[in-house]
Amino acid sequence: MSPSEPKVSLVKLTQLVWLLFGLLEALIGLRVFLKAIAANPNSPFAVMVYQLSYVFVWPFTGLTRTPAAEGMVLEVPSIIAMFVYAVLAYAVVKFIWIIFDRPRDTTVVHETTIVREPVPVPPQPPTRVSSVEINRTKQA
């Protein structure tokens, strides 16, 4: 496995998370739009959208008032749900990167010790001794 393969897998996973949350946002947005234009609630398409999105909008129902006029409804709780799910998607993606992203070359230094070693003395070239010096040492 090459070093870039885990990065690619991580990118693909975060793309999948964004796709799923994006589809959820689109579904709730379609619900808000259908309610705002007073779409026929008995239409099979509207029924499907309302039933699929209800599971995700349910925790936010009753949070605020829902203004309505002549059949048109502005579902403020659904708009709040869209905002909350967008923040949740961002948090999930950041969490995935924090947990699974590993730097390739990590160096951790726990302790540094300085050791002083004596510097080796290079060998001295042999000295030339003259014959006069040899005679002096023999006489002494």
Q: pLDDT tens string for the chain (140 positions)?
A: 555 677 888 999 999 999 999 999 999 999 999 999 999 999 999 999 999 999 999 999 999 998 989 889 999 999 999 999 999 999 999 999 999 887 666 666 677 777 788 888 888 877 776 666 666 666 65
In a domain, 124, yes or no: no
Q: Give the CA dihedral 9, 12, 18, 19, nearest 10 degrees.
A: -140
For the chain, how many structural domains are there in total?
1
Give CA separation, 12 vs 16, 17, 89, in Å: 6, 9, 15
In a domain, 132, yes or no: no
Beta strands in 2-121 (DSSP E): 68-69, 72-73
In a domain, 140, yes or no: no
In a domain, 111, yes or no: no
In a domain, 107, yes or no: no
Question: In this structure, are residues 38 and 73 in contact, taking their beta carbons and an 8 Å threshold?
Answer: yes
Match 């796709």 to its residue by tokens: 19
φ, ψ dihedrals at 30, nearest 5°: -65, -35
Domain extent, residue 73, equals: 5-100
- pTM for this prediction: 0.68
In a domain, 125, yes or no: no
